[in-house]
């Protein structure tokens, strides 16, 4: 998902405008090149359910002071759906959505395979730069944790569980007014599949857990947290939802929650990385790749915020 607003203090996330523009430009070009126009980037606004009166007042204060975050949001209001339980109101993030990464990656893999540009092989730092390769960019995420630590760069695994739900499509089905509901968790409408409505519910956060396996207890945890966003018929419909998938993954986070883009610590020229994308990889990934390309091809300086040499332990 992509969302330019941090809900904790109702602020813009880091470089929101630049990252959104870059993300959209790159992904729209990729959609066009792959013949997948409109199939990769999906705009879905977020409804933030205000947890209390103080939070509602904070949201309103941002509007009264003309804060920059207001370019992405709407003023607080009543819930647009009678299914949503929001006694203190809701705030809408009108510029938000999700990216169908599995479909994008499958399409890219197929394209590169047709062009003869895919090679499957194992690589680790000790292998160095393969023969005939000018630049190798390691994008292994948590897979490079130990090797990067040896070079003074820390990648912090952050385990997360997500559920895929289905609900009936008939009149009276769960209604979120087409929005992603944020209330202790998030519930994202993905669209109709086989005559039923499909949703994604997430996510958990577990630091320093190294297993990719889903945690069985996370299913009940997520369903319980999201149930508080609904009442009456909406709660009844949510409780009827069928869990059709339970998945988990490891987010590669950096110590300061900024990407790590550029030279591999202590290694010769030609070995580089993109890592540490954390929970906002969709939003910041395109800009990170552009920074790397400009650094390698044009000799441009890497922004300090993403240069891995910013860390004290980095081995030159």
Does residue 95 lie within any of the structural domains?
Answer: yes
Q: In which domain, by residue range, is 295 found?
A: 121-155+255-310
Band (200; pLDDT cuts 50, 70, 90): very high
Does residue 114 lie within any of the structural domains?
Answer: no
CATH number at residue 234: 3.30.9.10
Does residue 82 lie within any of the structural domains?
Answer: yes
Please indicate, yes or no, whether residues 84 and 213 belong to a single structural domain of this protein: no
Band (148; pLDDT cuts 50, 70, 90): very high
Band (312; pLDDT cuts 50, 70, 90): confident
Half-sphere exposure of 301 (CA within 13 A, CB side): 5
Q: Is 50 helix (H, G, I), strand (E, B) or coil?
A: coil
Does residue 265 lie within any of the structural domains?
Answer: yes
253, 276, 298 — which closes off a domain?
Answer: 253
Q: What pLDDT does 232 receive?
A: 95
Q: Is it the case that residue 214 has pLDDT exceeding 90?
A: yes
Please indicate, yes or no, whether residues 55 and 193 belong to a single structural domain of this protein: no
Q: What pLDDT does 280 receive?
A: 94
Please indicate, yes or no, whether residues 287 and 234 belong to a single structural domain of this protein: no
Q: Is it the case that residue 172 has pLDDT exceeding 70?
A: no
Q: How far is CA 72 from the centre of its chain?
A: 17
Please indicate, yes or no, whether residues 306 and 187 belong to a single structural domain of this protein: no
Tell me what the mean pLDDT of segment 109-134 comes to: 92
Please give the tally of structural domains in the chain. 3
Q: How far apart are CA 181 and CA 223, in angstroms?
A: 13
Please indicate, yes or no, whether residues 235 and 264 belong to a single structural domain of this protein: no
Half-sphere exposure of 86 (CA within 13 A, CB side): 24
pLDDT tens per residue, range 91-113: 999 999 999 999 999 999 999 99
Q: Is it the case that residue 257 has pLDDT exceeding 70?
A: yes
Does residue 30 lie within any of the structural domains?
Answer: yes
Please indicate, yes or no, whether residues 168 and 199 belong to a single structural domain of this protein: yes
What is the DSSP track for 131-179? TT-S-EEE--GGGGHHHHHHTT---EEEEEEEEEEEEE-STT----TT-
253, 283, 301 — which closes off a domain?
Answer: 253
Please indicate, yes or no, whether residues 239 and 93 belong to a single structural domain of this protein: no
Please indicate, yes or no, whether residues 232 and 296 belong to a single structural domain of this protein: no
Beta bridge partners of 193: 196
Band (173; pLDDT cuts 50, 70, 90): confident
pLDDT tens per residue, range 37-84: 999 999 999 999 999 999 999 999 999 999 999 999 999 999 999 999
Average pLDDT, the chain: 95
Residue from 67, 139, 149, 66 nearest 108 by CA: 139
Does residue 107 lie within any of the structural domains?
Answer: no
Does residue 115 lie within any of the structural domains?
Answer: no
Band (170; pLDDT cuts 50, 70, 90): low
Q: How far apart are CA 154 and CA 156, in angstroms?
A: 6
Please indicate, yes or no, whether residues 150 and 140 belong to a single structural domain of this protein: yes
Q: What pLDDT does 245 receive?
A: 98
Q: What pLDDT does 58 receive?
A: 98
Does residue 109 lie within any of the structural domains?
Answer: no
Please indicate, yes or no, whether residues 139 and 276 belong to a single structural domain of this protein: yes
Is residue 167 within 8 A of residue 239, CB to CB? The reply is: no
Band (205; pLDDT cuts 50, 70, 90): very high
Q: What pLDDT does 268 receive?
A: 87
pTM higher than 0.85 = yes
Q: Is it the case that residue 171 has pLDDT exceeding 70?
A: no
253, 269, 298 — which closes off a domain?
Answer: 253
Tell me what the mean pLDDT of segment 287-311 comes to: 96
What percent of the chain is predicted at pLDDT more than 70? 99
Tell me what the mean pLDDT of segment 207-212 comes to: 83
Please indicate, yes or no, whether residues 143 and 283 belong to a single structural domain of this protein: yes
Please indicate, yes or no, whether residues 147 and 276 belong to a single structural domain of this protein: yes
């Amino acid at each position: 998902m992509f969302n330019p607003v941090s809900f904790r203090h109702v602020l813009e996330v880091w470089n929101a405008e630049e990252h959104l523009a870059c993300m959209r430009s790159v992904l729209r070009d990729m959609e066009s090149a792959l013949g997948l126009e409109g199939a990769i980037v999906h705009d879905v606004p977020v409804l933030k359910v205000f947890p209390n009166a103080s939070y509602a007042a904070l949201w309103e204060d941002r509007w009264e002071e003309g804060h920059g975050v207001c370019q992405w949001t709407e003023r607080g209001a009543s819930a647009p759906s009678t299914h949503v339980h929001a006694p203190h109101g809701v705030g809408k993030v009108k510029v938000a959505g999700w990216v169908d990464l599995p479909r994008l990656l499958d399409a890219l893999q197929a394209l590169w395979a047709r062009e003869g540009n895919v090679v499957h092989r194992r690589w680790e730092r000790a292998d160095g730069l393969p023969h005939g390769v000018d630049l190798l960019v390691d994008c292994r995420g948590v897979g490079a944790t130990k090797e990067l630590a040896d070079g003074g760069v820390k990648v912090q695994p952050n385990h997360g569980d997500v559920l895929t739900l289905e609900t009936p499509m008939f009149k009276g089905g769960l209604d979120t007014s087409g929005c992603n509901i944020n209330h202790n968790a998030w519930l994202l409408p993905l669209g109709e599949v086989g005559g039923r409505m499909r949703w994604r519910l997430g996510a958990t956060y577990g630091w320093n857990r190294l297993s990719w396996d889903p945690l069985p207890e996370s299913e009940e945890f997520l369903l319980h947290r999201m149930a508080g966003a609904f009442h009456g018929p909406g709660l009844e419909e949510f409780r009827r939802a069928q869990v059709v998938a339970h998945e988990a993954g490891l987010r590669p986070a950096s110590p300061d929650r900024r990407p790590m883009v550029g030279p591999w610590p202590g290694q010769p020229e030609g070995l580089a990385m993109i890592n540490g994308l954390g929970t906002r990889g969709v939003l910041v990934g395109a800009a990170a790749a552009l920074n790397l390309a400009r650094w390698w091809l044009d000799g441009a300086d890497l922004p300090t915020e993403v240069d891995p040499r910013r860390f004290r332990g980095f081995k030159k």
